[in-house]
Amino acid sequence: MPTGKNWEAYGRMGERYGPLISVSIGPVTMVVANTYAIAHDVLNKKSHIYSDRPHISLAEMVGWDLTTGLLAYGPQLKRTRQMFHSELGTRALVESFHGQIQSQARTFLTLLRDEPGKLKEHCYYHAGAFILRITYGYTASVSHDRFLTKSENAMVELNEALAPGRYLVNILPFLRYLPDWAPGTAFKQDVKIYRRNLLDLLNSPLKWVQENMKLDEAEESFTSKWLKRGLTNEDTDLVMYGAGTLLGAGPETTAITLDCFFLMMILHPDVQAKAQAEIDTVCGRHRLPTFEDRVRLPYLAAVMKEVQRMHPPVPLGLPHSTTQDDIHNGYFVPKGSLIFANVWNMSRDRSVYPDPFKFDPERFLGPEPQQDPADYVFGFGRRVCPGKLVADASLFITVAMSLHAYTFRPPLREDGQFDVPNFEPCEGLTSHLKPYNFDIVPRYSQGAFDELLNGKSVRGL
């Protein structure tokens, strides 16, 4: 079983054996769909039997199997997704968050100006602070926020727990039933730590909302809205796990995409300049971009699509599982099989994206645009990310404001040459980029910038 950047290994196997490959690990059959066409056929068109999650022993021992992302397909998942859809599932609902999103983006601009060397931290804070606001009505602290710290730590632990080959109990489930003193059960100590941290992540913000509701001081949020309905204990648990899933997974994936955007601008100054010129033409130099400008910024939209294609945050997706036997194009897929959509390989499919390793936003423009990566980077079928519309809105306004306010470039070395960073994705369930250095050049004077952040019109620029 490949380790490391396994999405690349499965892609190479697909070139040799075909776009649909199967690997047997003991009694478990693992199937990898290396093309969008196959993933669409099974995960979208047959979602009624391909939407379960596999039994992952360590996840079950910790309690991650009750979070929305890993929850088994059934009534609880359907109910949770209904909850998400009622608050986040339409563009009209997302429009109600536009003011909060724009306010958070202005804070992000200030953080970039004041401490540009902490880009990754700023990206995570920016994504997480907005999610905390809409999910719990909580205003995050800029530095070392307690809930964001819990979220980040939980995702590190989840990445570790689901890494291929990291925990033998995921392959040999009987190990979980051995006594703690038996050889091969050291993983149980990790389980205790992971479980304690997960429960803390889930319970702490929920209790914070409940306490503020008792004082009649709770801001309207996903959690408070549902708690006000007088839920059953089961539904209250669904709200807790659903909100915790947004807090756990949402900041990381959005932050990864933002981080990649800035690196692509640094590596491709011509693209950056063209996007800035488009923004300047639409908005002028006297105000920041708004959501109303979006329809007139097609090149910027293409840039964001290319960023998502270049670096999908979850390259191999989360595994689906079949609830019954199936035959697809003559291939037998037994019940309980693990189905992976190799999102990374889809984004590098030469039959869909000519010259796939080139960063080229133009591929999404013109009369025959290439496939929108949103078709696959947010998941498939009944497992599509419930926060995709919110994430899309947040990413748009953040990159638009950032390009309007700043230019990003490689740092200068002592010899006067640019120290150009490399595009280096890391292995993991979620794939971060290796840290890189850059310089940030303001496009406004300090005074003009402050006026823009305060919503004032800047004249004479």
The answer to whether the annotation marks 385 as part of a ligand binding site is: yes
Residues 6 or more apart from 8 whose CB is under 8 A from it? 344
CB 372 within 8 A of CB 305: yes
Q: Are β-strands 28-33 and 338-341 bridged in parallel, bridged antiparallel, or unpaired?
A: parallel
Q: Are β-strands 320-321 and 439-442 bridged in parallel, bridged antiparallel, or unpaired?
A: unpaired
Nearest partner of 431 among 2, 1, 7, judged by Cα: 7
CA dihedral 426, 430, 436, 439 (to 10 degrees): 160
- Alpha-carbon distance 82 to 92, whole Å? 16
- Alpha-carbon distance 5 to 353, whole Å? 21
- The first and second tokens of residue 353, run together, are 């994206």
Collapsed DSSP state (helix, strand, coil) of residue 339? strand
| Count of CB atoms situated within 10 Å of the CB of 21 | 19
Token pair 């994430």 is at which residue? Answer: 391
At residue 114, φ and ψ (nearest 5 deg) are: -80, -35
Token pair 């971060």 is at which residue? Answer: 432
DSSP, res 366? S
Provide the annotated binding site: 385
Provide the annotated binding site for heme: 385
